[in-house]
């Protein structure tokens, strides 16, 4: 987005004139130019960091968030082996560490804290066993087999953070040919795609049918009532997560979308939850919770067991913490 059309032109011509060496299977890859920040280890196309200081799972997630990251998700055995090797290099041991997996909101529904779907797993034999009925957080390097186990979230363990490269933008999929044509168009049309010295892609971005564009993300209201974790799984099945909300403008727009979609202002799940650690609220899409719109006296953790965030609560249509197993409509969000 910050690239000028001039840079695009030069760059895409370079790519083209260098024998297309940046192409692979017909696609244009930026990742060759991407470097992880100091102290982070590049594995596949993401940056990982081992945090040796033992913390609870939720504090470890907050610590990752403070570095613009999340607790690590793992998507295949190669990544897992690389993470194990990184821990061994950093600490000269292979002890247990938190990954981002959790089933705190709903037993046996495992979610990654960075909002990605959990397809690959490496559970130890007999795990996850939910020992004592209360193990909801995922530790790696467990037992002699160094596999995955569910553990009590309030245990203190080292942890592994992951972050994406700073800009994971859709131009990864654009070919250099398109960049060349496009930047020449931009240059020859008086740079009309520039605004305040920056180059904006978003004018060309459209949400899929059935999704509503709010700021630079796409939202969707799901009227079917579900538990919080099933609502998150339903969003994941559409390449989305339960919605995070980052300012009042977004919240008002989401409320208007629900009104338009259902002719009501009833409660709906958002992606907020403090199921792993009381009063540590996290968004299921992995973004940090900075903006909140709690109702007066909420979140009150009624009965000691309200850990999921409903919107449009009470006459003030604000946020409340509710039992995660209640069935509510929900709001999904996805990036372009």
Contacting residues toward Ca ion, per CB under 5 A: 103, 127, 129-131, 135-136, 149-150, 274, 300-302, 306-307, 320-321
Number of H helices, E strands in the chain: 6, 20
Report yes or no: 319 and 291 within 8 Å, Cβ to Cβ. no
Cα 22 to Cα 17, 31, 182, 200, 238: the distances in Å are 11, 10, 18, 24, 31
> In angstroms, how far apart are the furthest CA atoms of the chain?
68
- Residue 54, SS3 per DSSP: strand
Provide the minimum distance between the beta carbon of 134 and Ca ion in the complex, in angstroms, as a whole number.
7
Provide the minimum distance between the beta carbon of 265 and Ca ion in the complex, in angstroms, as a whole number.
18
Element (H, E) at 48: strand 46-55
Q: Judged by CB, which is closer to Ca ion: 136, or 217?
A: 136
Q: Judged by CB, which is closer to Ca ion: 141, or 306?
A: 306
Provide the minimum distance between the beta carbon of 232 and Ca ion in the complex, in angstroms, as a whole number.
15
Provide the minimum distance between the beta carbon of 258 and Ca ion in the complex, in angstroms, as a whole number.
20
Provide the minimum distance between the beta carbon of 320 and Ca ion in the complex, in angstroms, as a whole number.
5
Cα 120 to Cα 34, 75, 110: the distances in Å are 25, 5, 11
Show the CA angle centred on residue 295, arms to residues 289 and 301, nearest 5°.
Answer: 75
Q: Judged by CB, which is closer to Ca ion: 190, or 304?
A: 304
Q: Judged by CB, which is closer to Ca ion: 150, or 267?
A: 150
Centroid of chain to Cα 55: 21
Centroid of chain to Cα 84: 22
Q: Judged by CB, which is closer to Ca ion: 41, or 276?
A: 276
Q: Judged by CB, which is closer to Ca ion: 8, or 229?
A: 229
Provide the minimum distance between the beta carbon of 108 and Ca ion in the complex, in angstroms, as a whole number.
7
């Amino acid at each position: 987005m910050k690239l000028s059309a001039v840079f695009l032109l030069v760059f895409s011509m370079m790519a083209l004139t260098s024998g297309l060496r940046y192409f692979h299977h017909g696609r244009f890859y930026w990742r060759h130019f991407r470097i992880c920040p100091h102290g982070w280890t590049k594995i596949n196309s993401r940056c990982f960091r081992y945090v040796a200081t033992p913390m609870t799972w939720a504090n470890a997630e907050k610590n990752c968030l403070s570095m613009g990251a999340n607790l690590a998700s793992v998507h295949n055995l190669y990544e897992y082996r690389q993470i194990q090797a990184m821990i061994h290099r950093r600490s000269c041991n292979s002890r247990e560490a938190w990954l981002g997996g959790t089933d705190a909101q709903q037993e046996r529904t495992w979610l990654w804290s960075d909002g990605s779907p959990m397809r690959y797993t490496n559970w130890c034999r007999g795990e996850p066993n939910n020992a004592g009925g209360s193990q909801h957080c995922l530790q790696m390097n467990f037992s002699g087999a160094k596999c995955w186990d569910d553990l009590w979230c309030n245990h203190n363990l080292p942890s592994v953070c992951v972050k994406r490269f700073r800009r994971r933008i859709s131009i990864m999929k654009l070919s250099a040919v398109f960049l060349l044509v496009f930047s020449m168009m931009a240059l020859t049309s008086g740079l009309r795609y520039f605004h305040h010295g920056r180059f904006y892609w978003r004018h060309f971005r459209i949400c899929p049918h059935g999704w509503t564009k709010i700021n630079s993300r796409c939202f969707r209201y799901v009227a079917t009532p579900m538990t919080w974790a099933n609502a998150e799984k339903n969003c994941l099945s559409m390449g989305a997560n339960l919605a995070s909300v980052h300012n009042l403008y977004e919240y008002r727009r989401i409320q208007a979308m629900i009104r338009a979609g259902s002719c009501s202002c009833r409660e709906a799940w958002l992606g907020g939850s403090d199921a792993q650690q009381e009063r540590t609220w996290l968004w299921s899409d992995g973004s940090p919770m900075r903006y909140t719109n709690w109702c007066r006296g909420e979140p009150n953790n009624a009965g000691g067991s309200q850990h999921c965030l409903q919107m449009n609560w009470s006459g003030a249509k604000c946020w409340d913490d509710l039992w995660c197993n209640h069935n509510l409509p929900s709001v999904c969000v996805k990036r372009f």
